[in-house]
A = this chain, B = another copy of it.
Amino acid sequence: MNFDGEQKQRVSTIEDIIKKFIPPIEGYQKTVIEAMNYSLMAGGKRLRPMLMEETFRLFGGSNWAVLEPFLAAIEMIHTYSLVHDDLPAMDDDEYRRGRKTTHIVYGEAMAILAGDGLLNYAFETAVKAFKMIGSEQANEELADYKRVARAIDILSMKSGIYGMLGGQVVDVEEYNGYIDRKRLDFIYQLKTGALIEAAMMIGAILAGATDEELDTIEEIAGDVGLAFQIKDDILDVTSSAEVLGKPIHSDEKNEKTTYVTLMDVDNADDEVVRISERAIKAYEALPYKNEYLKILINKLITREY
């Protein structure tokens, strides 16, 4: 398998699905829809929907119509968090992935509303999955309803104060202050990990995974998120702006505590290896295989950009 070619093609398929769920740019409120579209279509790895899709595939999921709204919804939630993180009151960033940030293009008020709009629309979109349930027998239909309800439960929990948003809150509060490893892990597990957990767990649930399998997936996803974030800390020190597509040494400039400041690059590297090996081991113990997912997880952790 040519992984890079395959990945490119899958990103394109995911973007087509996301586009299907974007509201048409029309009506009196079209500016906010335009701003939502601008931020949602700004590129990126589409990592969360891709992990969701591959976990769905791992567990032999078949009703793709029920999955699709969630693929779009999780990317909307990820995108809203970026739009609000970039705001002047937060990180005050003018560029992201080489493009002007939403508040630079549309103004601060509209960027706040576009972020709100994306978060809200993520749930509007996820709820559409109920309409895609096609079972004809009441018992099966009920089982499908329960799965979709649980998927929305996980999506909302992992994005909120006990998930991504909770991590962001602690990150904002501690900016420029000293953070110990316990607190840093809390930030990473929530800010980065929680949405990756949601992605993989929703893929598993909608494919019919058992509760036990779901626990395993949550652990794997948590490790992937943590290793991914530590790798981010390392690349900020060891990579170059050209390769990374964004300024390096930004953590040092912002006086941020990272795994690199807590334990130096070599030890941080060892942590990445330790955590990712644990994730791969748990994955190997599952009775299902998805070679693409395994390579994807490995690439996330060993990536150079």
A117 and B29 contacting across the interface, CB-CB below 8 Å: no
> Min CB distance, A103 to chain B, in Å?
8
- Given A123-B156, A127-B152, check contact A166 B32 (CB 8 Å): yes
A117 to B115, CA, bound (A): 12
A110 touches B172 (CB 8 A): yes
Residues of B within 8 A of A117 (CB): 160-161, 165, 169
Tell which of A135-143, A208-216, A224-232, A293-301 binds the partner: A135-143
B113 with A127: CB separation less than 8 A = no
Q: Are B27 and A157 in touch, CB under 8 angstroms?
A: no
- Min Cβ gap A67→B in Å is 17
CB distance B23 to A116 under 8 Å?
Answer: no
CA distance A185 to B245 in the complex (A): 46
Q: Given that A28-B166, A169-B32 are known contacts, is A23 also in contact with B149, CB under 8 Å in the complex? A: no
Contact of A1 with B by CB under 8 A: no
A115-B116 in contact (CB<8A): yes
- Give Cα distance in the complex from A107 to B113, angstroms: 18
Cα(A90)–Cα(B108), bound, Å: 8
Q: Are A27 and B87 in contact (CB under 8 A)?
A: no
Min C-beta distance of A125 to chain B, whole Å = 9
The yes or no answer to A50 lying at the interface (CB within 8 A) is no
Whether A116 contacts B183 by the Cβ 8 Å rule is: no
CA distance A120 to B84 in the complex (A): 14
Residues in A20-40 with C-beta less than 8 Å from chain B: 23, 27-29, 31-33, 36
A sample of 28 cross-chain residue pairs with beta-carbon separation below 8 angstroms, ordered by A number, consists of: A27-B166, A28-B170, A29-B162, A29-B167, A29-B169, A31-B169, A31-B173, A88-B89, A109-B172, A110-B173, A113-B165, A113-B168, A113-B169, A113-B172, A115-B116, A116-B116, A116-B119, A117-B165, A120-B159, A120-B160, A121-B161, A123-B123, A123-B156, A124-B160, A138-B138, A138-B142, A141-B142, A145-B145
Q: Which residue of B lies closest to A127 (CB)?
A: B153
Q: How far is the CA of A90 from the CA of B116 in the complex (A)?
A: 13
Q: Is A82 in the interface zone, CB < 8 Å from B?
A: no
Contact A89 B115 (CB under 8 A): no
- How distant is the Cα of A142 from the Cα of B161 in the complex, in angstroms? 30
Q: A112 within 8 Å of B by Cβ?
A: yes
Which residues of B lie under 8 Å from residue A113 when comparing CB positions? 84, 165, 168-169, 172
Q: Is A186 interfacial (CB-CB < 8 Å)?
A: yes
Q: Does A146 contact B (CB under 8 A)?
A: yes
Q: Is A292 on the interface with B (CB-CB < 8 A)?
A: no
Is B112's CB under 8 angstroms from A161's CB?
no
Tell me the bound Cα distance from A249 to B249 in angstroms: 52
